[in-house]
Amino acid sequence: MDRIYGDDIILGTMGNTITEKIIERHLVSGEMKTGAEIGIRIDQTLTQDATGTMAYLEFEAMGLGRVKTQVSVSYVDHNTMQEDFRNMDDHVYLQTAAKKYGVRFSRPGNGICHQLHLERFSIPGSTLLGSDSHTPTSGGMGMLAIGSGGLDVAVAMGGGPFYVAMPAVVGVKLTGRLKSMVSAKDVILTLLGRETVKGGVGSVYEYFGPGVATLSIPERATITNMGAELGATTSIFPADEVAREFLYRQGRGSVFTALSADPDANYARVIEIDLDAVVPMAALPHSPDNVKPVSEIAGRKLDQVAIGSCTNSSVNDIGIAADIVGTGTIADNVSCAVSFGSRQVMRAAAASGLLDKLIGSGCRVLESACGPCIGMGFAPKSGGVSLRTFNRNFKGRSGTEDAEVYLVSPETAAASALRGVITDPRDLRMEKKDYSGFMVPSDTLIVEPASEAEASSVEVVRGPNIKPCPVGKPLADSLSGPALLKLGDGITTDHIMPAGAKILPLRSNVPEIAKHAFEYVDKSFPERALAAGSGFIVAGANYGQGSSREHAALAPMYLGIRAVIVKSFARIHRANLINFGILPLEFADPTDYDRISQGDEIVLASVKTALGENTRIKAEDRTAGFSFVLSARLDPRAVRILIAGGLLPYTREGGK
């Protein structure tokens, strides 16, 4: 018995899901009981240059020596604009650190980490931890691939387990087959419309059913990539004959292992999606779950189209876009750009004639990198309407504060670029072709590390912008200070620590990047926080949704924030707060949120005692004159980390 469109169904004790099978094989500590903390062994890690510099600085600070994972890869794909020395200095540091510590290094121009890892390193049944929230992309290959903060990745590289709450496994049953000009992007947007950006918190979305076999690996990866926007721990597909064929084309057929759920697998709940019924969808400004059918917004004039990103930059995504725009010329009112997911995809596009179609139509060709998705170039005009095949459309993320960004499929993006208005691609009556046969694997831009014998002679090069990672202070038993900010629901990591060409080069320099904390919310925050010496942030529901950037915790810690008090947290950001010694607290009574004003003096008493006894923390708003209660919901290990001042000092002290 299945559940359709969100109605719960309770199943009895049955077989195992894919998720449970992988976790069971990698379980180091804890009990596989939903919500309980478990520690799992990590086979592979990935970092990218916006998060990687700090991750390797943390790795060095813990004195961990050579990496102990089966595979660790350091990718350069975010900070590829060389406006001055800073990004290049980071890349040199990353390359020399990788060589010394036993990490493969993917050079600038090789492509986006998630597309590359799917192509060159993904292995069914393995675990992958990445310092990027879209690490679940490799779930399309049957990996348990989880995004986290860089400090967690540093610990995993040193051989330590990754700790996470045992997720509930939500089954997504796919039936039918996608119709012409409807894509995997429309599937995940459909699911986001039903489940919302916080619907997947504490869950893994596991796909099964006859419709799975109709989807290619890149299509599955599009779905698992944007599963991050559901707030999910990760998403995963089976490893079947489609996966075997993909790995064979990549010259890696020997790593294939068939992997599927037991026929009687026990899912917490099941959602059914009929692929035949899926239609072109769009996420409207400013959230990935603000979803409508493209047909309902068709005709709106636009200014910009961007095709690519880790979500939709496979050769077939580029292929359908090129075939569409190749029938004419990009509309006069539209600026259109394409970024390829990897050098392999770019070469396939050149060999198949797709690149010529794109250039001939008037498309601009960008570097194989994240680029516009993180506000690194190709920003929209003031108040512009931009259609993007990306995964996030948070306000200001594009680099233009008042832009209206829509998330769509490559088919919708290309059709709209051609006509100059938002267009339902089904109107074009075209068929998608398969260009995957043009893919030729090459690892010439992957630099192998030095051997253990040679490692001691490798010098790690550090530029002047690279500063040591700040270390948190041990937790005091009483905390007091002002509510320095009061924020609403849905605060993203882009609100807390913006990305973009101006700020990303500061990722290896916390004192400097901290000056930009909450820049789009309140420019005075960093100065006020430093002047106060300590304080709190108060916010609503799903605080910290979005990327895995640990700087959204690092910078507030550096500025003196000792606790964040909210209605609810997003998973990765909550973990990052703990890692950097900031108490993640939730209102026991959510209505108390309404009684606190920005600037109120807050006092938390007997904090360590309450944490140690697993009781609620008593708080007082001395300005407004009332008391309230806060819940921490912390496991014993998290309590020990917080008392030590964060994961870095905790690990230095030999904590486990």
* Domain ranges within the chain, ordered by starting residue: 18-277, 281-438, 479-652
Range with the poorest average pLDDT among 403-412, 499-508, 519-528, 607-616 = 499-508
Tell me, what amino acid is at 331? A
Strand pairing partners for 272? 173
DSSP letter for each residue of 351-402: HHTHHHHHHHHT-EEE-SS-GGGGTSS-PPPTT-EEEESSS---TTTTS-TT
Confidence of residue 652 (pLDDT cuts 50, 70, 90): confident
| Tens-digit pLDDT profile for residues 322-351 | 999 999 999 999 999 999 999 999 999 999
DSSP letter for each residue of 241-290: HHHHHHHHHTT-GGG---B---TTB--SEEEEEEGGG---EEEPTT-TT-
> What is the rounded (10 degree) CA torsion for 383, 385, 391, 397?
-10
Q: Mark whether 495 is an active-site residue.
A: no
Distances (CA, A) of 154 to 462, 545, 548: 18, 22, 14
**What is the reported pLDDT for 615?**
87
| Tens-digit pLDDT profile for residues 548-597 | 788 999 999 999 999 999 999 998 899 999 999 999 999 999 999 999 99
Confidence of residue 9 (pLDDT cuts 50, 70, 90): very low
| Tens-digit pLDDT profile for residues 94-153 | 999 999 999 999 999 999 999 999 999 999 999 999 999 999 999 999 999 999 989 999
Residue 625, burial from CB neighbour count under 10 angstroms (0-12, 13-18, 19+): exposed
DSSP H helix total and E strand total for the chain: 22, 27
Q: Which two tokens stand for residue 293?
A: 């059918």
Rounded percentage of the chain residues whose pLDDT exceeds 90: 82
Q: What CATH code would you report for 281-438?
A: 3.30.499.10
Mean pLDDT of all residues in 30-34: 96
Confidence of residue 7 (pLDDT cuts 50, 70, 90): very low
Residue tagged active-site, from 26, 78, 104, 462: 78
Q: Mark whether 397 is an active-site residue.
A: no
Q: Closest Cα to residue 571, out of 79, 204, 118?
A: 204
Range with the poorest average pLDDT among 257-261, 474-478, 612-616 = 612-616
Q: What are phi and psi of 50, to 5 degrees?
A: -75, -25
Mean pLDDT of all residues in 445-463: 94
Residue tagged active-site, from 547, 571, 574, 637: 547
| Tens-digit pLDDT profile for residues 420-442 | 999 999 999 999 999 999 999 99
Confidence of residue 12 (pLDDT cuts 50, 70, 90): very low
**What is the reported pLDDT for 465?**
87
CA–CA gap between residue 140 and residue 122 (Å, rounded):
9
DSSP letter for each residue of 117-137: HHHHT--TT-EEEESSTTGGG
**What is the reported pLDDT for 655?**
66
Mean pLDDT of all residues in 32-42: 96
**What is the reported pLDDT for 8?**
32
CA–CA gap between residue 141 and residue 216 (Å, rounded):
10
Q: Mark whether 287 is an active-site residue.
A: no
| Tens-digit pLDDT profile for residues 505-534 | 888 889 999 999 999 899 999 999 999 999
Residue tagged active-site, from 43, 89, 132, 152: 132
**What is the reported pLDDT for 202?**
93
Kindly tell me if the per-residue pLDDT of 177 is higher than 50.
yes
CA–CA gap between residue 59 and residue 160 (Å, rounded):
12
Residue tagged active-site, from 3, 347, 516, 549: 549
Kindly tell me if the per-residue pLDDT of 601 is higher than 90.
yes
Contacts of 246 (CB under 8 A, 6+ apart): 141, 216, 217
Pairing of strands 269-274, 304-307: unpaired
Q: Mark whether 49 is an active-site residue.
A: no
Q: Which is more confident, 314 or 63?
A: 314
Residue tagged active-site, from 43, 49, 77, 494: 77
**Residue that is written with structure tokens 């076999």 in the block:** 213
**What is the reported pLDDT for 81?**
77
Kindly tell me if the per-residue pLDDT of 218 is higher than 50.
yes
Q: Mark whether 114 is an active-site residue.
A: no
Q: 18-277 with 479-652: one CATH topology?
A: no
Tell me, what amino acid is at 286? H
Confidence of residue 500 (pLDDT cuts 50, 70, 90): confident
Homologous superfamily, domain 18-277: Aconitase, domain 3 (3.30.499.10)
**What is the reported pLDDT for 528?**
96
Kindly tell me if the per-residue pLDDT of 34 is higher than 80.
yes
Q: Mark whether 426 is an active-site residue.
A: no
Q: Which is more confident, 64 or 180?
A: 180
Q: What CATH code would you report for 479-652?
A: 3.20.19.10
| Tens-digit pLDDT profile for residues 350-372 | 999 999 999 999 999 999 888 78
**What is the reported pLDDT for 656?**
59
**What is the reported pLDDT for 325?**
97
Mark residue 299 as left, alpha or beta (left: phi above 0; alpha: psi -120 to 50; beta: remaining).
left
